[in-house]
Chains A and B, each alone.
Chain A
Amino acid sequence: MNRRGIGIGSASLILIFSVLCLTVFSLLTLSMANREKELSEKLESSVENYYAADSAAVEIAAEFLANSKNGKIPSELNGAIISSNGECRFNYSCTIDDRRSIAVKFEIKDGKINILSWQETNIEEWLPNDNINVWKG
């Protein structure tokens, strides 16, 4: 009696199973790599924006100092509004992106600039979470 072997169709089954598995793995891997790339690009733009705003803030401070040495107190420099909050104390802010900005407070003393604060602040509206458990200890 002739045997029919292991069975016609076993090779096809192995083929279909392996192609399905490999396709799923490759698509998962590719999607993960693309997400990582997007995240890296977001980080790149975030860092670039921060340092661009930081540099702009430094330019403004330097220009203000130069102006103050000439006896001028400008109220606006490079698009940033400079306000005074006390004798020789001033503040301005530079936008980093639509969510953050750098708020600078400084004072001029003896012809030198003294940075009081150089804080990154959020300018996006903050929505509180009402479900936080507060420690009442």
Chain B
Amino acid sequence: MSDGGKSPAGEVWQCFKCRIPMAAGKVTITYLSSEFPVELLKCPQCGLVFVPQELAMGKMLEVEKALEDK
């Protein structure tokens, strides 16, 4: 386990409160009046969402920039 940001290997994130594993589900993300329905891991019970670093700093950043220049 390094400080580089990798989650502990081979394990999955669980919702702390509901104590159940995250599962794929529909989430709406918005930016500058645009809405995007996407499939993300979320807690089936309380709706807590998991956005991995790769998504936040990859595709999401790309879309943010594109929308900002529109």
| A and B held together in a complex | no
A binding-site residues for B, Cβ under 8 Å:
none
B binding-site residues for A, Cβ under 8 Å:
none
